[in-house]
A and B are shown apart, each in its own frame.
Chain A
Amino acid sequence: MAHPADPPPGDPVEPPPVTRGAGAPPAVQLTGITKRFPGVVANSDITFTVARGTVHALVGENGAGKSTLMKTLYGMHRPDEGSIEVDGRPVTFHSPADAIAAGIGMVHQHFMLADNLTVWENIVLGSEPVNGVRLDSRSAIDKIRALGTSYGLTVDPERLVESLGVGERQRVEIIKVLYRGAKILILDEPTAVLVPQEVDELFGNLRELKSEGLTIIFISHKLDEVRAIADEITVIRRGTTVGTADPKAVTNSQLAEMMVGSELPVPELRDSTVTDRVVLDLAGVTVVDGDGRPVLTDITAAIHAGEVLGIAGVEGNGQAELVDAIMGIRPISAGRVELAGVDVTKLSTLRRREAGIGFIPEDRHRQGLILEGTLWENRILGHQTRPPSARGFRLNRSGARKDTQRIVDEYDVRTPGIEVKANSLSGGNQQKLIVGREMSGDPVLLIASHPTRGVDVGAQAAIWEHLRRAREAGLAVLLISADLEELIGMSDTLTVILRGKLAGSYDPAAVTPEQLGIAMTGGDLGQVAS
């Protein structure tokens, strides 16, 4: 097996100085790029030009081929056809190290950081300054501080990455590529994990970088953000570029049409179906972590039949613990959980499911599916004691198969059959299968934790429609999401969770994502509280 050479030791590579002007070649020029994977063509004949010193947005649906294209540009794999030019020179990348040497840096969507190393260790890894054989931590830290000051990217180099928040981690990622002397930055869905205030901060940083002559390729499918930051937009659909647009002239709906070929679905509810029958009643629910610190404090809330209660919050503020407490996955140290008037506090997760709780988990791969199992085996999960999946203490295979076929038909799960493994389905279809499973067996309460995370636009619209139908049918729904528009559009009542406490309710008809963002980070709530 051939290993790529490690980057040369010593100082980070300095690419040639930036020259600006009308005649200068584009920073990046991709011509006729085609990339095939077994069974699919991820990119076909893509042509893509980025001018130097600009922010260029690459937009498209999930699965349109944006990430594949950027991995090609970053040397993570080689294109089957086509050529790459950087600053007018043709290049061939065998590994990210080559791309780094050519001045290209990538900030991945899922942070590539080692939690148990310090910020500076994460940044210098791979091109460490040394003093003899000893790591020269002093000069590394000084250089990171200097980079931070000149670009307005503040983060303490000596802290453990583990202790950083999401915004800080992203800054570490950006400093990481700047440290290597990158002049062209690829940001893969950088705003997916940020609240609106952090997005503003990131955009400030990006404008600063642009004014220093750096080129930024910004991948996203959030059209408002793209129009706010980009100088030029390239749209990609089904693996190929469909055109470029001027962010000042184009509207969201025009962009959306280019992206999906049709209009974007909008999260919204129809008339109120809220009744006065309480389905889920939480009284003083408190959860502590392994060290005895409270992660959920005195949660009191009620959801009525036909009501969607939306929970907004920055990730890690107790949402996961709240779901675990209701599901009985994590023991609560105080309080009471009542389902349709019955105290279920002491019941096991299985008993609670049998009592009528459906659960769409936050991470479908970790909690929702057995990826190596067939669709019908996955249908049984959580229903292993109930018809049609069970007959007495035995599993009812044929019943489960038949009911899986029903879910596949009713919920439009696109699959060659029910005998295929769950991991051969796309994220959106896996999610539709889970929604179908959780809606069977006549639930009274549905916990939907990030139900449309990482699914394509079509599946998103379908899942929203299923939530609406569930609500009309009198289900109580607990909706947790990081997508504030989804929360505002799909909730009857909105509550903010902050540091494990419920921090005020808002009227979804009146509140804006910005106001919610302020409340989620503990800002002043006064003027927005309903």
Chain B
Amino acid sequence: MTMTTDPEPLARPVKKKARTLGPLAWVGLAALGLLLFATVRQLTGATNLTSSGAIQAAIGAAAPIALAGLSGLWSERSGVVNIGIEGMMVLGTFGAGWAGYQWGPWAGIFFALVCGALGGLLHAMATVTFGVDHIISGVAINIIAPGFTLYLAKLLFTNAPGGGQKQSPPVSDVYRITIPGLSNWLGTIEDKQIFFVSDLAGILRGATTHLSVFTVLAVLLIVLSGWVLWRTRFGLRVRSCGEAPYAAESLGVNVIKYKFAAVTISGATAGLAGAFLVVGLKFQDGQTGGRGYIGLAAMIFGNWRPGGMAMGAALFGYTDGMQLYDTGGAIHALLLILAVALVVVAILQMRRGHYTIGAVSLVIAALSAIWFFSTDDLPGQLVTAAPYAITLLVMGLASQNLRMPKADGLIYRKGEH
């Protein structure tokens, strides 16, 4: 027989792999970022930019977003678009409120998980079994869930002690970790206001003081999900359903089963995200406030990967934490940081040849710089809206060359191809 020696006779240009950064480079980048924040804090006196209290608030705000993003990751990796995360979160908040006030926070978390999973199951039934358009099913869940839970709330909470028509009785908090000694020691450093050192101490202290066990659980879940999706047989099959379901089917993979499993896990995770809002507080109508959508945006920003998704969630959590904890000075200072960040985005985009996006980034950077220097404070309404605005801005401008699962959002019908 004759064999050509050249194994690649085709002229199809091979796409360059995206650059991947080593761990050291990430540490360097983080240090650079911190340097920027330290400098801005020094210049503006907005100590809350890196204060431990604000960081604590940021972590608390980021965790539900990250869980919502994780929910989207599970669903979309299996090829089902889940715009219904918001509604599944609402179901989770109800489950957490109802079980939580009666049997404690962990029972609440468990019931949130079950309620979310039921929402996920509903979405899976609609999209996978009946072939309903994914967006329509998701939106329907988003509409039904708040109405349904409000009805149940009126039924179950009105006469409960401390409850009302639109809210459950309070749910106690889970255990919060404070590392003794370390926290106080970091506190003293933080109070000394040393450039960079105190900023680092503030961030570390925020992460080691009153840290909810639930937050730790959320972080572990993200790591675990990444491992399951990329390192196990189950995960490979789930991802294959999102990329090429008919190829998977031709190899004997039961696509419907894996899609069901993944969307149900997605619902359960969304339920946990809802529980996060309730534990330590209570169920309230309208409590989710669009976090499901933000989580989905964070997941897309993270290119359908857990690490990137977590970064997106951290970004929103940080700005949201600032908004909750600070009275305005820090958000005002964030304008300057935003301007610098957008200049960096502009440079990166222009180097890749995306001149329009680069130019838009520069213009917005200039506007926020002008805004920063010409004012001393921000109106209250803008402060509340800032996390949404900043997050969407950064995500929109930085999210280029995303690669969604190829069969994401497509309706799969067994045996039809």
Contact = CB atoms under 8 A, between A and B. Distances in A.
Interface stretch (A43-51, A129-137, A279-287): A129-137
Contact of A6 (B11, B129, B252): B252
Interface in B333-354: 352-353
A417 to B, nearest CB: 27
A3 B257 contact: yes
A7 interface: yes
B371 to A, nearest CB: 32
A6 B237 CA distance: 11
A4 B414 CA distance: 11
B289 interface: no
Contacts of A6: 252-254
Interface stretch (B2-10, B29-37, B94-102, B313-321): B2-10
Interface residues of A, number: 61
B248 interface: yes
B27 interface: no
Contacts of A7: 252
Given A6-B252, A165-B10, A521-B11, A130 B233 contact: yes
B7 to A, nearest CB: 5
B150 to A, nearest CB: 35
B240 A3 contact: no
B14 to A, nearest CB: 5
Contacts of B3: 152, 201, 204
Q: Which of A116, A127, A152, A314 has the most CB of B within 10 A?
A: A116
Contacts of B14: 163
A207 B1 CA distance: 7
Nearest to A313: B11
A292 B243 CA distance: 27
A208 B3 CA distance: 11
Interface in A119-147: 121-122, 124-128, 130, 133-135
Interface string B217-252: 000000000000001111011011001101111111
A180 to B, nearest CB: 8
Contacts of A112: 244, 246-247, 250-251
Contacts of B9: 165, 167, 195, 197-198, 201, 521
Interface stretch (A94-102, A397-405, A430-438): A94-102
B243 A76 contact: no
A242 B415 CA distance: 29
A116 B415 CA distance: 22
Contacts of A127: 251-252
B405 interface: yes
Given A125-B248, A126-B253, A499-B11, A114 B233 contact: no
A487 B252 CA distance: 40
A115 interface: yes
A106 B249 CA distance: 13
Interface residues of B, number: 42
B13 interface: yes
A114 B353 contact: no
A125 B238 CA distance: 10
Interface in A156-214: 162-163, 165-168, 176, 195, 197-198, 200-201, 204, 207-208
Contacts of B352: 291-292
Contacts of A155: 7
B233 A128 contact: yes
B324 interface: no
A450 interface: no
B232 A108 contact: no
B12 interface: yes
A116 B239 CA distance: 9
Nearest to B414: A1
B154 interface: no
Contacts of B256: 1, 3
A113 B250 contact: no
A198 B3 CA distance: 10
A309 B4 CA distance: 31
A353 to B, nearest CB: 28
B252 A114 contact: no
A317 B239 CA distance: 30
Given A114-B240, A135-B231, A204-B3, A106 B250 contact: yes
B192 interface: no
Contacts of A114: 239-240, 243-244, 247-248, 406
Given A126-B251, A201-B4, A204-B1, A521 B233 contact: no
B19 interface: no
A520 B11 CA distance: 8
Contacts of B415: 76-77
Nearest to A204: B1
Q: Which of B9, B243, B353 has the most CB of A within 10 A?
A: B9
B15 A522 contact: no
Given A116-B403, A165-B10, A100 B252 contact: yes
A200 B250 contact: no
B237 A197 contact: no
Contacts of B249: 96
Contacts of A124: 236
B243 A115 contact: yes
Nearest to B257: A3
Interface of A: 1, 3-4, 6-7, 9, 76-77, 95-97, 100, 106, 108, 112-117, 121-122, 124-128, 130, 133-135, 152, 154-155, 162-163, 165-168, 176, 195, 197-198, 200-201, 204, 207-208, 290-293, 314, 316-317, 498-499, 520-522
8 contacts: A1-B256, A3-B256, A112-B247, A125-B247, A168-B8, A201-B4, A292-B353, A521-B11
3 tightest A-B CB contacts, nearest first: A165-B10, A126-B251, A292-B353
Given A124-B236, A314-B11, 8 more contacts: A100-B252, A116-B403, A125-B247, A162-B15, A165-B10, A204-B3, A498-B11, A499-B11
